[in-house]
């Protein structure tokens, strides 16, 4: 059976979309990937999209969406990105939180900020993919 993961952040426009795009790129058909937000925004963050495109991944066709509660019972893992998103752990999927690098706390903004966030998420995605695919 193909493992699955749900990436969650608040707006589902940046970090969770980046993680999903990078996981699709890394795992391809070996993983089913979802992303959602606790308070979905109106659009995907353009700087986030550009940052993942620089490494060959894509957010094309994606848009912010709310959490589908049925996914909390059906995915193999839920990953919450950042410290702001909170979900009701009513589902049965294991939940983990990734406190991702936040370069803006060090005064780093714009494209450089997004690249650092992308690289942090990318490393975590690779480790998660290896863990779920071998299970």
All residues at 6 or more sequence positions from 6 whose CB lies less than 8 Å from its CB, including other chains: 34, 35, 36, 67, 71, 72, 75, 77, 78, 79, 93
Structural domain spans, the chain = 4-134
All residues at 6 or more sequence positions from 28 whose CB lies less than 8 Å from its CB, including other chains: none
Residue in 32, 35, 26 with CA at minimum distance from that of residue 85? 35
User: With bands split at pLDDT 50, 70 and 90, how would you rate the model's confidence at 1?
Assistant: confident
- pLDDT at residue 79, rounded to an integer: 97
Q: What is the mean pLDDT of residues 11-27?
A: 98
- pLDDT at residue 47, rounded to an integer: 96
**Residue 96: strand, helix, or coil:** strand
**CATH class, 4-134 region:** alpha beta
pLDDT in tens, 39-96: 999 999 999 999 999 999 999 999 999 999 999 999 999 999 999 999 987 788 899 9
- pTM (predicted TM-score): 0.96
């Amino acid at each position: 059976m193909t493992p699955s993961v749900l990436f969650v952040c608040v707006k589902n426009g940046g970090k969770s979309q980046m993680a999903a795009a990078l996981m699709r790129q890394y795992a391809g058909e070996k993983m089913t990937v979802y992303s959602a937000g606790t308070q979905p925004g109106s659009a995907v963050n353009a700087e986030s999209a550009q940052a993942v495109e620089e490494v060959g991944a894509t957010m094309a066709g994606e848009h912010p969406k709310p959490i589908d509660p049925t996914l909390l019972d059906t995915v193999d893992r839920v990953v919450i990105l950042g410290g702001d998103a909170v979900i009701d752990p009513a589902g049965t999927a294991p939940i983990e939180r990734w406190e991702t690098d936040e370069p803006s706390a060090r005064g780093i903004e714009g494209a450089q900020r997004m690249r650092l966030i992308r690289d942090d998420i990318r490393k975590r995605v690779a480790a998660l993919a290896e863990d779920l695919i071998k299970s």
